[in-house]
Amino acid sequence: MQRIGVFVCHCGSNIAATVDVKKVVEMALLEPGVVHAEDYQYMCSEAGQAKIAAAIREKHLTGIVVCSCSPRMHETTFRKAAERAGLNPYMVEIANIREHCSWIHKDMEEATKKAVILARAAIAKVNLNTPLKPGESRVTKRALVIGGGIAGIQTALDIADAGYEVDIVEKTPSIGGRMSQLDKTFPTLDCSACILTPKMVEAAAHEKIKIYTYSEVEKVSGFVGDFTVDIRKKARSVDMDKCTGCGVCQEKCPSRKTPSEFNRGLNTRSAIYTPFAQAIPNVPVIDREHCIKFQTGKCGVCAKVCQAGAIDYGQKDEIVTEKYGAIVVATGFDTIKLDNYDEYAYSQSKDVITSLELERIMNAAGPTKGHLERLSDGKAPKEMVFIQCVGSRCSDNRGKSYCSKICCMYTAKHAMLIRDKYPDVNVTVFYIDVRTPGKNFDEFYRRAVEQYGVNYIKGQVGKVAPQPDGRLLVQASDLLDNRQIKMEADMVVLATAIEPNPDVRKIATMLTASIDTNNFLTEAHAKLRPVESPTAGIFLSGVCQGPKDIPETVEQAGAAAVKAIGLLAKDKLLTNPCTAQSDILLCNGCSTCANVCPYGAITYEDKEVNDHGIRETRRVAVVNSALCQGCGACTVACPSGAMDLQGFSNRQIIAEVDAICR
Amino acid sequence: MNKPAKKQAELIREISGVNPLKCMKCGKCSATCPSYDEMDIKPHQFVSYVQNENIEALVQSKTLWKCLSCFACVERCPRDVRPGKLIDAARQIVVRERGADYLSPDEIPELLDPELPQQLLVSAFRRYRR
Amino acid sequence: MYKIAREKMPQLYRRIAENKELYLPLEIGGQANFAVWEEGDTAALDVLKTVKSPKDAFFPQSENLYTCKRDGKKLSIEPQALKEQEFVVFGMKACDLQGVQVLDKVFLADPVDSFYAARREHGTIVALACHEPEETCFCKVFGIDCADPAADVACWMIADELFWKPLTGKGEALTAQVCDLLTEAEGAEETVEAEKENIRRIVEKLPYMHLSLDGWNADAQKEKFDSPLWEELYKPCLACGTCTFVCPTCQCYDIKDYDTGHGVMRYRCWDSCMYSDFTMMAHGNNRTSQMQRFRQRFMHKLVYFPANNNGCYSCVGCGRCVEKCPASLNIVKVIKKFSEEKAAGGEQQ
Amino acid sequence: MSIEKNEEFRPKIVAFCCNWCSYAGADLAGSSRLTYPADVKIIRVPCSCRVNPMFILRAFEKGADGVIMCGCHPGDCHYSTGNYYARRRMTLLFSMLDFIGVENGRTRVEWVSAAEGVKFSATMNEFVEKIYSLGKNVRLEDLRCRS
Amino acid sequence: MQKLIDRIRELLADGTVARVLGWRTGDLPYNPEPAYFECEEELQDFVYNGFCGANLSKYMIEASRLEGKTLVCLKPCDTYSFNQLLKEHRVDREKAYIIGVGCKGKLDIEKIKKQGIKGIESISGAEIEEAAESLTIQTIYGEKTCAYKDAMLERCHVCKGKEHQIYDELIGDSSDTTDADRFAQVRRIEAMSPQEKFAFFQNELSKCIRCNACRNVCPACSCRKCVFDSTKFDSSQKANADSFEEKMFHIIRAFHVAGRCTDCGECSRVCPQGIPLHLFNRKFIKDINELYGEYQAGEDITADTPLTHFTFGDAEPSIVGERG
């Protein structure tokens, strides 16, 4: 029989205002096993913890129940307090009488009754608790960063600077990501390439950083501190060591009709290509789908012109297997597809473009060499319309329910740059709200209005209709003037919502990291653990976690790096002791449990057993407690009940059920 | 109109199945509306009126009879507020208040506008299509 | 001797049920078992053997012994009331009656089982002769005459009339309660005698009735226990409890606690020596193999029990286990096997 | 409690919530002060796949009037696949309960994420209301527990 | 049968197998029992006839632990069970020599007795050689006849087919005896109101005496120690002290074998109280087929078991209420 102490927290008035804590103490004392019960203002305070420690020592408690806030809040606090007083931390159970009781009930009698029952369930459970000891596992002192955009680069640099090895896996032929596609950056109007390129070079040159471009994560196994990752290095068809990056192959390549991914399909590229001039590594890849040599077997021009003899048509995909202690996801974003927005005529007119396309148009290395011109006829526009919130803030199923956060600022930037470079162009921005929190952000927006004369109109555009003369009829409402506007424009720019890179779903599944309904990776806690995934050892960097601009991305990249460093700095990790265990006397060796284990933690061994005097060799399940994460899938799959979960055993849960239904 | 405005607003919400509080006041409905100029209370305002339970003004408004029920605003509203449905519901309230579920035939001519399609007809078709 | 027409039987039941519980073979879900008669139920009197024996009436499959109530940290014990309601078990067969005799030896011997004793005291048994015994019957082997059951009242169903003969004080009392429904049967003795002869003639024809129990006695204990035959005999046994639960004499029970949330109900329920946790103790089990458990059942019925009860076997030849064993094992096969072996051994010598 | 007035029916409802999503969703409902009836008592399990059908039957045996299981949305399981197994298990179990004549609606599965405090509270309100309309569970209880 | 015995004798004699698992003649015309035969002399009691309904595959769990190979006679439907046991590593294929024996439907003595036939002395027509249309039964009360079909086990009316799923050799012909819809009764119950359903099962299950015959005969219930015999779930019970317990037992038993039950029908065959226990299993099989795709346990040992597998688009549990 346990000697149980029950500690009821007032949580100031959070609990005490709706739950009669004295009554809970009184009722708890009547439960079997309870030898001590008391209440206190703030159990989580130092004084509260001291009370727990004192009771453990004086009353020789073997288990305690704290009736307080959610275990997600203070379970660790109380476990540590118990441990300091010499009690195994897993002999602590929490009865959640705040979030699940005092905060949701108004009637004192009802809430008190419920609190008593919740306490009773926790007492019944702790009666069956057994001391548990965490296992230990080693930490591989190397990190993996998935994604080579600004987020991934910054994270890798920070980790590497702390002295740990980092690998970056980037899907495209070069690192740089979305930021490399941008022309200028707000609010200081720095040239994006000018500030990004040095970072790319630094990463490439860093002795602790290894970059896998044109590569993808294929398979992830293992767990925090000890992940094993298969990386597929796609065949580049160019020998990385031999290539000098002279660029002759790209000039001579006869296949030139492939839409350029980097330029958002606004122009074309050759089949052998580097995405952009500052690409790192500066080694081209052959796009085999569009390469004449690969498609027809006849050509081989690039091999002929390559002085270095770097072209290798026979190259094959290669799988590299590496071990990592921590993984940082920095998979970034893309703009949403506009297939569902017929009213903006995006697919009907070449002159309706997305903001990211405008970035490329404005960029000197872009399809128009930096000249602002209509893609339909090459004419300079006179009238430009920007439409905000295209696909953002939509609660219908066409768009995204969230605010994409960066559009207000980049639209102000675009408007300002156009007005600056082409003062004769009229710029009208249709907005719902202009959102500019951030240092120097509102000033920036005001400058666009006040200094550059950008015409901001509150009201959404209802439709954009291409006219026979090639111009675009924009019909909008001006909510402040209470009028409907019909105006003609030469170009319309859509501030398209951003969404997480579609590949993130696959990656999240491999990492067993959770993802929200919008495909953003979920953080372990929205406020307190914003750069960690709930899955241990997985960290989040950049837009894969939620919309953010460059400074925020870099901040988060640094934060993710620090969290990863914190993990890598440890020599070993304590593993969760709430793992499954198989009773070899009950085990049938039927393999059912192994079939449902998501971690491959269950194997089978022929073991000598002594079943009440009968000695025989039996095939039985063995759980690797370092791999087991304690989900419990196996415990239900097991028909004989041989599999049980420590900390959430069958009998413990049944005891809780019984206590509640009593 | 003897029912309190609150009841009426509730009725509109119930008939339309629309929660006007979802409106973020972007004005896309008004931007889209082909009858905008004919209306005294514009579609986006209509939503606010329901929000504010100012139903008396709505039932008196021209908007009720100028709305084509083309439902462009319904299709394009990013917040699923569907102003056209609200107008439709307000119209139905007026019709019901007359003691029957229908407009009396002799009233139709004076409401008819040769420029516009017969909105009630269109609306009815839409409501009972399937 | 009295009689009553078959079609009037429901009136008889109704009369008895006025102030007594009436257990009758009733068909529920296609199976006849003894159960409490309620208005509208049709008795399955033509069924020779109910699936379960009627021993439930005196020794229910599970019954509460006492209840502990918890109030805070205070425990109070509420004893279970003993049976006080008078009841009648109607339609028991001669073998089942012998089964009750066997149970009496167990439960009414010192220390007396008060729950059982109370039931015996308040129960009146109306027995029914076996009209058409079947091939699985072997009651005669144990000296039982299925044509002439001896209970509080003995009955014979002949053509469409039930002949009713009170044999004890309890039987007389019951007869008095229903006497206006019965008619004095003149010349009935002869009719009944003819029926008895008829039944006995059938018995002679049945294959199991001439089984020999030679050598099954206390002296044979060691020889039987050590026989290698058990190893072969038990093999098909599935270790289910069918034989023990349909048996009219199996009397083993287990005592268990049920947590009601407010306390504990301590109850007993039938146990089966075929179960692996039968007589499980803290150190483990004293019979670790199914062979041992299988042997125990037959040794108990045919050796240990007679050794302790003046030669009375605790098998009554009802044949229920013969019919119901899922693996077609039974006590007859065991007895025969040992006889065969002995015969073979004899020949050799 | 010892002296309980024989008042109107108050159901006993057990809610199994997975630690990562639904329990957190319930916490969020709490911190958002979204009320639901006190009849619901939550048991924390690591994952919906930890919920053994025996637990559910056990609850009914001991007098529960409704059992609801909440887990992460399919695809969002912390253990990546747990709720998929749970979904099949519960579908079959509920179907069996329906087959033997237990009123539909006494059991329910709802996927509630950590962010769905509103959904948690709405679900509980709805479920409790359903249980009120079904009344006391009499088909699946052990009568001994009434004493 | 002679051909079978000859072949068995041969295999025993040449040492291919150490023992034979088959049926021994009973002492009544209808009660042969499963038995091991280790030498030629014992084979004189070997029998294979219409009353050899017992599924011998479960005995192979024990036989797999014995020295040498065991020859086992399996009927077509028994081979599904053997396969399932193989899949769960409960039997050793190397230790088994499987003779697939022909089957033309097995007989149920209860069904014969239900027709009022008693005092049975002998039965002819139950031999498997010729496919008899009817049985001729000698009783002490005279000669009776009974159509073979009317005496067949329930499971044979919904036969899974005459093909053996696994064997080393086949002896004897089989025929498909299907003449009923396997799920008809399940459907009939599904169509009932909750009250009717409850009354139906209450009536059937109230007969349960918890003898565990259904569990112990079941080839899918192959646990060394059943949860109902262990203290793991605090569910250890020997007798139903309350009507809840029989429901608990049968629901959980059916759940534990869901996706693994081959529908061999042994549970219903052995139930001393004639409870149609197969209905529980068939309900699960029907649900699995409808919700997750056709699945026959024991057919393909490499197939994913329904309850240890899933698809992203699986039906939600609410479908139970929705399909009405």
State the SS3 of chain E.
CHHHHHHHHHHHHCCCCCEEEEEECCCCCCCCEEEEECCCHHHHHEECECCCCCCHHHHHHHHCCCCCCEEEEECHHHHHHHHHHHHCCCCCHHHEEEEEECCCCCECHHHHHHCCCCCEEEEECCECCCCCCEEEEEECCEEEEEECHHHECHHHHCCCCCCCCCCCEEECCCCCCCCCCCCHHHHHHHCCCHHHHHHHHHHHHCCCCCCCHHHHHCCCCCCCCCCCCCCCCCCCCCCCCCHHHHHHHHHHHHHHHCCCCCCCCHHHHHCCCCCCCHHHHHHHHHHHHHHHCCCCCCCCCCCCCHHHCCCCCCCCCCHHHHCC
Inter-chain touch E256–A639, beta carbons under 8 Å: yes
Q: Which CATH number does A4-126 carry?
A: 3.40.50
Task: State CA D41 to chain mean position distance.
Answer: 8
Write out residues in chain E with pLDDT < 70, as ranges: 129-131, 236, 324
Rounded alpha-carbon distances, angstroms, from residue C345 to B51, C227, C340, E11, E43? 104, 13, 8, 30, 20
Check pLDDT > 70 for residue A653.
yes
pLDDT digits over A319-331, tens only? 999 999 999 999 9
Distance between C72 CA and the closest CA of chain D, angstroms: 9
Instruction: Name which of B25, B30, B77 is nearest A484 (Cβ-Cβ).
Output: B30
DSSP A98: I
Distance between D23 CA and the closest CA of chain C, angstroms: 26
Distance between E26 CA and the closest CA of chain C, angstroms: 8
Dist CA E128 CA E136 (whole Å): 14
pLDDT digits over C12-46, tens only? 999 999 999 999 999 998 999 999 999 989 899 99
Q: What are the boundaries of each domain within chain B?
A: 5-128
Residues spanned by CATH 3.30.70.20 within chain A?
A: 580-646
Inter-chain touch C135–E28, beta carbons under 8 Å: yes
Instruction: Confirm or reject contact between A30 and chain D (CB < 8 A).
Output: no
Instruction: Name which of C71, C72, C262 is nearest D147 (Cβ-Cβ).
Output: C262
Distance between B27 CA and the closest CA of chain A, angstroms: 5
Structure tokens at E51: 């009353």
Residues spanned by CATH 3.50.50.60 within chain A?
A: 142-234+317-332+501-568, 337-499
pLDDT for A224 = 87
A138 dihedral zone (left: phi>0; alpha: psi -120 to 50; beta): beta
Cβ-Cβ contacts under 8 Å, C258 against chain D: 142, 144
pLDDT digits over E187-233, tens only? 999 999 999 999 999 999 999 999 999 999 999 999 988 998 887 77
Instruction: Confirm or reject contact between E207 and chain C (CB < 8 A).
Output: yes
Chain E, window 226-255: residues with a beta carbon less than 8 angstroms from a chain C beta carbon = 229, 236-241
The residue of chain C with its CA nearest to that of D59 is: C261
- Most E-contacting residue of A582, A640, A646, A654 (CB-CB within 10 A), to test interface: A640
Dist CA A447 CA A413 (whole Å): 10
Inter-chain touch C288–A30, beta carbons under 8 Å: no
Instruction: Confirm or reject contact between A519 and chain D (CB < 8 A).
Output: no
Cβ-Cβ contacts under 8 Å, E319 against chain D: 91
Dist CA E23 CA A162 (whole Å): 76
Inter-chain touch A389–B26, beta carbons under 8 Å: yes
Check pLDDT > 60 for residue B116.
no
Check pLDDT > 90 for residue C245.
yes
Instruction: Confirm or reject contact between E233 and chain A (CB < 8 A).
Output: yes
Fold held by D13-139: Rossmann fold (3.40.50)
Instruction: Confirm or reject contact between A521 and chain D (CB < 8 A).
Output: no
β-pairing, C161-166 vs C2-5, is antiparallel
Looking at domain A142-234+317-332+501-568, its CATH superfamily turns out to be FAD/NAD(P)-binding domain (3.50.50.60)
Instruction: Confirm or reject contact between A596 and chain E (CB < 8 A).
Output: yes
The yes-or-no reply on E/B contact (3 CB pairs or more, < 8 Å) is no
pLDDT for B124 = 55
Subunits next to B (3 or more Cβ pairs <8 Å) are A
Cβ-Cβ contacts under 8 Å, A596 against chain E: 308
Check pLDDT > 90 for residue B126.
no
Whether D70 and D25 have beta carbons less than 8 Å apart is answered as yes
Instruction: Confirm or reject contact between A32 and chain C (CB < 8 A).
Output: yes
Cβ-Cβ contacts under 8 Å, A106 against chain D: 35
Distance between E227 CA and the closest CA of chain A, angstroms: 5
Which residues lie closer than 8 Å to A90 by C-beta, 6 or more apart? A79, A129, A130, A131, A132, A577, A578, A647
Instruction: Confirm or reject contact between C36 and chain E (CB < 8 A).
Output: no
Burial class for E311, CB neighbours closer than 10 Å (0-12, 13-18, 19+): exposed
Whether A601 and A624 have beta carbons less than 8 Å apart is answered as yes
Structure tokens at A641: 């009940």
Cβ-Cβ contacts under 8 Å, D81 against chain E: 310
- Phi and psi at residue E88, to the nearest 5°: -95, 15
Confidence of residue D50 (pLDDT cuts 50, 70, 90): very high
Q: What is the mean pLDDT of residues C121-138?
A: 95
Whether A126 and A93 have beta carbons less than 8 Å apart is answered as yes
Confidence of residue B102 (pLDDT cuts 50, 70, 90): low
- Phi and psi at residue A318, to the nearest 5°: -125, 140
Instruction: Name which of A399, A432, A463 is nearest B26 (Cβ-Cβ).
Output: A432
Q: What is this model's ipTM?
A: 0.84
Inter-chain touch D62–C262, beta carbons under 8 Å: no
Distance between D97 CA and the closest CA of chain E, angstroms: 8
Subunits next to A (3 or more Cβ pairs <8 Å) are B, C, D, E
- Right CATH number for A337-499 from 3.40.30.10, 3.30.360.10, 3.30.420.40, 3.50.50.60? 3.50.50.60
Which residues lie closer than 8 Å to A83 by C-beta, 6 or more apart? A89
Cβ-Cβ contacts under 8 Å, D29 against chain A: 99, 104
pLDDT for B130 = 37
pLDDT for B101 = 53
pLDDT digits over A149-180, tens only? 999 999 999 999 999 999 999 999 999 999 99
- Most C-contacting residue of A30, A127, A651 (CB-CB within 10 A), to test interface: A30
pLDDT digits over A612-641, tens only? 778 889 999 999 887 788 999 999 999 999
Mean pLDDT of chain A, nearest integer: 94
Q: By percentage, how much of chain C surpasses pLDDT 90?
A: 81
pLDDT digits over C193-205, tens only? 999 999 999 999 9
Dist CA D67 CA D75 (whole Å): 23
pLDDT for D146 = 77
Q: Which of C58, C61, C55, C50 is nearest to C271 (CA)?
A: C61
pLDDT for B105 = 59
Structure tokens at D123: 């679900």
Check pLDDT > 70 for residue C298.
yes
Distance between A613 CA and the closest CA of chain E, angstroms: 15
Instruction: Confirm or reject contact between B79 and chain A (CB < 8 A).
Output: yes
Instruction: Confirm or reject contact between E309 and chain A (CB < 8 A).
Output: yes
- Most C-contacting residue of D58, D60, D142, D145 (CB-CB within 10 A), to test interface: D145
- Most E-contacting residue of C28, C134, C238, C275 (CB-CB within 10 A), to test interface: C238
Distance between B89 CA and the closest CA of chain A, angstroms: 21
Distance between A592 CA and the closest CA of chain E, angstroms: 7
Q: Work out how many CB contacts closer than 8 A connect A with D.
A: 153
The yes-or-no reply on C/D contact (3 CB pairs or more, < 8 Å) is yes
Chain A positions touching chain B (beta carbons under 8 Å): 343, 389, 393-396, 398-399, 432, 458-463, 475-479, 482, 484-485
Distance between A606 CA and the closest CA of chain D, angstroms: 27
Q: Which CATH number does B5-128 carry?
A: 1.10.1060
Least reliable range by pLDDT among A323-337, A412-426, B62-76: B62-76
The residue of chain D with its CA nearest to that of E201 is: D100
Dist CA C151 CA C139 (whole Å): 16
Q: Where are the alpha helices (DSSP H) in C1-113?
A: 9-19, 94-107
pLDDT for A624 = 84
Inter-chain touch A396–B80, beta carbons under 8 Å: yes
Burial class for D74, CB neighbours closer than 10 Å (0-12, 13-18, 19+): middle
Structure tokens at C177: 């309660």
The HSE-up count of residue A477 (CA atoms within 13 Å, CB side) is 25
The residue of chain A with its CA nearest to that of B24 is: A432
Class of the CATH domain delimited by A580-646: alpha beta
Q: What is the mean pLDDT of residues A424-430?
A: 96
pLDDT for E130 = 65
Inter-chain touch E222–A588, beta carbons under 8 Å: yes
Inter-chain touch D142–E194, beta carbons under 8 Å: no
DSSP A11: T
Instruction: Confirm or reject contact between A316 and chain D (CB < 8 A).
Output: no
pLDDT for A605 = 92
Residues spanned by CATH 3.40.50 within chain A?
A: 4-126
What stretch of H or E contains A389?
Answer: strand A383-390
DSSP C304: I
Q: By percentage, how much of chain A surpasses pLDDT 90?
A: 89
Check pLDDT > 70 for residue C93.
yes
Confidence of residue D1 (pLDDT cuts 50, 70, 90): very low
Which residues lie closer than 8 Å to A332 by C-beta, 6 or more apart? A147, A149, A151, A177, A178, A500, A501, A542, A543, A544
Q: Which of A316, A304, A312, A307 is nearest to A253 (CA)?
A: A304
The radius of gyration computed from the CA coordinates of chain E, to the nearest angstrom, equals 21
pLDDT digits over E43-67, tens only? 999 999 999 999 999 999 999 999 9
pLDDT digits over A184-226, tens only? 999 999 999 999 999 999 999 999 999 999 999 999 988 889 9
Check pLDDT > 80 for residue C283.
no
Q: Is the dihedral of CA D27, D31, D33, D38 positive or negative?
A: positive
pTM score: 0.75
pLDDT for E256 = 95
